[in-house]
Structure 1
């Protein structure tokens, strides 16, 4: 009888101990449940400007999720991946190559959403249709003799971090298609922010720039004649749209809550205005890892060619 009572006591204490370890969601699933949420963006434009544009998103997310939210901008494309891997960031607005790096190399990110954008016409103007991809484009000054990617050999080209899909990987592949090595056959000018790349062309610091479509809109307030002073010489192949990715150890319940929160924000007029201003996003749709196989192919190709 004593043994039975002792065994029951030990079993009960074991259950209490296991229940105290970690956190359980409403459906009994164990995993990370944020008491406050940290959201981070990559610096696709001037970090201070981007942070100011993203700040209003905090209030909208807090209303949707009923917890405190902190929005910030990483110092570069790699920092946000490292922050998610170390558990310092819960949600990352990751461009395709940064997402693949975080998912494959660090096991630090799980995609839950993909941005929607308007397509682009040959002259760079937007189409009326929303798509789940975007393009990178090469621009030069309007009076430049450069007319094609083939003409970029030996030229100074404004580029982004090597993990930037639109600012490096896809443009590098386009150069390779013309037999131009992006590491040795051009003079790469590595900048932080696509707005800086556009400005470099306007100021004569670069012969050309590789930017996301159409990053010239980011600087149009400061340079009203940017569209007249530059021209588009080429577009790349399609790039899967940016992701909203979360820590993989997060409970399914919280992944779904965050997913729905961003969908709701993208459908509201106030929210759409904010996300359009940040990244030219027009809303969000559910996504999965398989959508980014083309990103892995491009990354392997550029890496192999290097």
Structure 2
């Protein structure tokens, strides 16, 4: 799989990154003309996701979700991949995205900078599970780098400035180890968690960060890496699960309908019961989750806000 990594020489350079979302082309804009002039409802619901894997793979991950939303609401759903995390935030701010799959930090950034959006659901592997995951610090097996303190002076792969497990928590971890993530390492932003892993594997980065299941499950199951290829040197505390958030500009009726779809239908047992899948094994949901979505609210992400408050991490300030 090909990918492009972006070397960064400081936070100021990141602010200049052009924000582009493929969904915001003329056809999408035309399709999302309001169907009801009295509300923000649209004929086409644009569903955008932060980058995580290669575009084709990510679109397939959300195909069943789009189909269910289309059938249940009667609205067309157009899934779009963003070029970076900030693109999703700015597209939803501009009203060009109605449903967004965020990371926890990118959601907090969106909400706390005035994007009118509400989190409704996160993925879990069991119905009684609290949504959450961890950030991993990774090196190629056999690397002389054995701790975060050894990252000093090295080329380090992060995911994106708006990534929770690919930048915020790693930045906090590095700072706790006495490493300034902006000046004590050469940061590289790979764009996706899988791209970060592959850059470490290829030697483009001396070490890096990615979220747990990408390292432990997803890339192994796809044959992109083998068990034992990577050493995990550090694990973050548990991070709130990545949310799906919907635009507050939609009518209360449509918001309630979409919320109900995620919280009551988009899980393996319900999808089988309603005939969307022949059996639970055939239900294709993001991250190969064993269950599906459960409800979350804004307070679920106060832990991310607390990390920013305590650490004053540069990622939070930018």
* TM bucket, shorter chain: 0.7 to 0.9
**1:124-273 mapped onto 2 (5 Å cutoff):** 130-216=129-215, 217-220=217-220, 223=223, 225-263=225-263, 264-267=265-268, 268=271, 270=277, 273=283
TM-superposed CA distance for 1:201, in Å, is 1.5
Q: Report the Cα distance in structure 1 between the residues aligned to 2:222 and 2:295, rounded to whole angstroms.
A: 35
Q: Measure how far apart 1:305 and its partner are.
A: 8.3
Determine the C-alpha separation between the residues in 1 that align with 2:206 and 2:89: 31
**CA distance in 2: counterparts of 1:294 and 1:58, whole angstroms:** 30
Q: For 1:10-159, what aligned pairs fall within 5 Å after superposition? A: 22-23=37-38, 31-117=39-125, 130-159=129-158
Larger radius of gyration: 1
Query: How far does residue 93 in structure 1 lie from its aligned partner after superposition?
Result: 0.6
Shift of 1:34: 3.1
Aligned-residue offset at 1:66: 2.1
Contact 2:136-2:210 within 8 A present in 1 as well: yes
Question: Contact 1:97–1:299 at 8 Å: present in 2 too?
Answer: no
**CA shift for structure 1 position 39:** 0.8
- 1:133-182: CA deviations, max 9, x gaps? 11101111111122222222222211011110010000000000111000
How far 1:117 sits from its partner (Å)? 4.5
Using the alignment, how far apart are the partners of 1:59 and 1:152 within structure 2?
44
Tell me how far 1:131 sits from its aligned partner. 3.0
Unaligned runs of 5+ in 1: 1-20, 24-30, 119-127
Q: Give 1:302's aligned residue.
A: 313
SS of 1:214's partner is helix
TM-score using structure 2 length? 0.77
Give, in whole Å, the separation in 2 of the partners of 1:169 and 1:242.
14
TM-score, normalised via structure 1 length: 0.80
Match of 1:15 in 2: none
Q: Distance in 1 between matches of 2:118 and 2:166?
A: 23
Change (3 A) 1:224 1:285: closer
Q: Aligned partners of 2:78, 2:307: CA distance in 1, in Å? A: 33
Which residue of 2 is the match for residue 274 of structure 1?
A: 284
Cα offset, 1:243, TM superposition: 0.8
User: Equivalent residue of 1:227, what SS?
Assistant: coil
The DSSP-based 3-state class of the residue aligned with 2:227 is helix
SS of corresponding position for 1:130: coil
Judging changes above 3 Å, is the alpha-carbon distance between structure 1 residues 115 and 224 closer, same or farther for their aligned structure 2 residues?
closer
Q: Which residue of 1 aligns with 2:21?
A: none
CA RMSD of aligned residues (A): 2.5
Q: Is the 8 A contact 1:112 1:245 kept in 2?
A: yes
